Amino acid sequence: MRHRISRARLTAATAAAVALLAGSLTLADANAATGAPEAKTLKSVKADLTDSAVSGTSRAIDKTTGKVVVTADRTVKGEALAKLKKQVAAQDGKAVLKRTAGKFEMFIAGGDAIYTGGSRCSLGFNVTKGGQPYFLTAGHCVELGGTDWSESSGGPVIGTSEAATFPGNDRALIKYTGDTAHPSAVNLYNGSTQEITGARAAVVGETVQRSGSTTQVHDGTVKALDVSVTYPQGTVNGLIQTDVCAEPGDSGGALFAGGDALGLTSGGSGNCSSGGETFFEPVVAALEEYGATIP
């Protein structure tokens, strides 16, 4: 069952496009005159690679190296790996391929546990819409789980899904229907909470924390933005990539920095014993689509 209510995603700087003094001719004019094709931007390279992506891969623009980093998990092998290598090699040096030892998967199995359809996910952030209380979680938790949510397996319903998107994006809006507290805070699993006072975009290099019902709280660093990941169930775009670990059941949980809400746990590879990489749906995008606010 698919629910959807309403939702653009680096063009390369061309200093050489300044008019050439000798002939008052720009680089763009020169290309047009000679018929030479203009170089592909990193954004278009990433888009092309995403359009032909195989399951178990991700694509992110690395502004430091000026390349699109294509990561393949351990499931990509044989013909699929050969195809991927050919696709990367065809990008005129603008893309590189790396491997990760884990498997890209969604972590279905805020921080607090929420249950639906026999599956467990994690609550992301409590929000308000039209003066009414809601919460955000991962869209795949709804699409692959169910629409009614409780705080315990088989417990009374506390909320019902109003909107969800997966794949493409990975976000969902759940309306509280039961009598339960819904503070604007994230569970730190040490007897305290972190108050959440607003939402913003993540920044590459910043230190962040993630709270989830399986592995509780872990921290790490934002590695890339606007990342596309191809899970077995489909491709999700516009994600935040970090080196914070996560495991099944952490899906939908909160990515935050101090009092700022940043993202909702989507999926990744590895675990909290060996480490890994994780991807998050940006909270700002979810709030904009759903017309919701924090707190």
Catalytic machinery residues: 140, 170, 251
Q: What residues are paired with 115 via a beta bridge?
A: 120, 150
Q: How far apart are CA 246 and CA 244, in angstroms?
A: 7
CB 175 within 8 A of CB 153: no
Angstrom distances, CA of residue 187 to CA of 131, 135, 141, 152, 191: 23, 14, 20, 16, 8
Q: How far apart are CA 29 and CA 231, in angstroms?
A: 42
* 156: number of Cβ within 10 Å: 12
Q: Tokens 């990509």 map to which residue?
A: 76
Asked if 38 and 28 touch (Cβ cutoff 8 Å), the reply is: yes
Give phi and psi for 262, each to the nearest 5.
-120, -50
Residues 139, 283 contacting (CB under 8 angstroms): no
| 3-class SS of residue 272 | coil
Spatial distance between the Cα atoms of 208 and 257, rounded to a whole number of angstroms: 5
How far is residue 191's CA from residue 90's CA, in Å, rounded to a whole number?
Answer: 53
**H or E element at residue 46:** helix 42-51
| Radius of gyration of the chain, Cα coordinates, nearest whole angstrom | 21
The pairing of strands 207-212 and 198-199 is unpaired
